[in-house]
Amino acid sequence: MENTRSAGILMPISALPGDGGIGTLGTSAYRFVDFLSKAKMSIWQILPLVPTNYGDSPYQSCSSLALNYYFIDLPTLVEQGLLMQEDVDNADLGGSGRRVDYGKLFNNKISLLRKAFARFDREQEDFRRFVKKGEYSDFAIFMSIKSRFNHVSWKEWPEPYRTYDAKVIKQYVKDNLDDIEFWHFTQYIFLGQWTKLKQYAKKKHILIMGDMPLYIAEDSVEFWKYGKELFQVDENNNPVVVAGVPPDCFSADGQLWGNPIYDWEKMQKDGFKWWNNRLKKSLKLFDILRIDHFRGFDRYYAINAGEATARYGVWRDGPKAELFKDKLDWNIVAEDLGTQDESLAQFMREVGYPGMKVLEFAFDGAPDNTHRPTFYTANSVVYTGTHDNMPLKQYIADLSQDQYNTFLRELYNEAHNLVETDFTDLDAVCDTVIRLGFACVSNTFIAPLSDILKLGGEARINEPSTVKTENWSYRFLEGDYDDALAQRLAKLVVQYNRQPKK
């Protein structure tokens, strides 16, 4: 990503159009790659590919490495003879509407995948090698036990399964081989479809930027199996502290995420083996890896388990640059938003990865606001907004009159020497912000598709620290983006020199 100007679009796989209830790795994904290519974009940024869990959030997954079987494309399985068309037609997955219905997917898609597995030749050499390699064995075993006990948290499993025991698990695998191989099958099929999509994107000169959550859920295979090795826990394998961020101007109580926190001292003793494996595997899947809450490697905010809010946490040192000293040339983007201090600034200088700037945050009138384009360097990725922000148009519409006046004044001050400014209405203001993103000095500019389409609050991807059906569920429809839009974007790419050499 160094020394080249590029542009991209944030589009979650889940938000792709199609009639399967959720975006998949099928036709609509290939069409989106075609759209990006016509728009002369270079990057497709997605959200984490891990299975969703509590609150349907990809940042609360049951596994740090497994892949979301909801994204498996069913028409492709029909073409392979693993499903009948009537199987798909008769399953209520939620259709092609604006919202993902995760309940329908849970109740009906998994059963379809089990039908496909029943027709699958599990003796084929490629699949046998895949299972034997064992990269997804922990996940497969965990999901098999979890489904056996009605998908409740592992803390509610009966003994002898609640406490991980190698002898017990060995016997369980022997007795439940078919079911465990089904969960291997979900990963095998996903990877097959993903590899073909990524190869297609590469031919179109599109890089895929993946996303890695820093933390994983307590109800995860890693915490179940490796709790005392990887996390800060008590003698009963309960978290001593949990993750979050402190109070700020957006939240008086802070954000209480509740994820268990790593025991960095233990991890350091084996050279961060678990993290090295996780990072390497992620960069095999993606061309670029965005790491969420990257500042947590420098210092993390620890809240005593059982606290009702994030008000009373404390900052503690993480592994800092030591974890990344042999990875300085890797294609990593550091999500360094949130509390800023000299420790974080020093950490970012040491690793050298591009950080993030957000134009929604830029125009509040504060002279030292580092999101103002005046302060950007080339080694950064600028966004109109992120998956956690209100879409740009709604964000501006919700400002008070004084805030709006300040926003326009500061936007004009930052933009008028770089781009044509137009403040005639909200759409025009949004277009001015987008042009500024294209024009600014940052090597990479990325906008959520909802911002490019100038959609309102209905298109918000996620509202942090809330659990509701509107989170992670918005989908686009066929026709929301078309060749005319691609041509308009392509002109901006060329005008602002964001088309890398091929």
**Residues annotated as part of the active site:** 292, 335, 388
Q: Which residues pair with 380 in a beta bridge?
A: 355
* Residue 315: strand, helix, or coil: strand
Give CA–CA dist 386/29, Å, rounded.
21
Give CA–CA dist 91/440, Å, rounded.
48
Q: Centre a 10 Å sphere on the Cβ of residue 198 and count the other Cβ atoms it contains.
A: 19
* Residue 299: strand, helix, or coil: strand
Q: What is the largest CA-CA distance in the chain?
A: 70
* Residue 373: strand, helix, or coil: helix
Specify the amino acid at residue 305: A
* DSSP type of residue 421: -
* DSSP type of residue 96: T
Query: What are 5's two structure tokens?
Result: 């100007």
| Residue 374 near residue 452 (C-beta atoms within 8 A) | no
Q: Which residues of 407-443 are buried (b: 16+ CB within 10 A; e: fewer)?
A: bbebbeebbeeebebeeeebeebbbbbbbbbbbbebb
Query: What are 463's two structure tokens?
Result: 């509202």
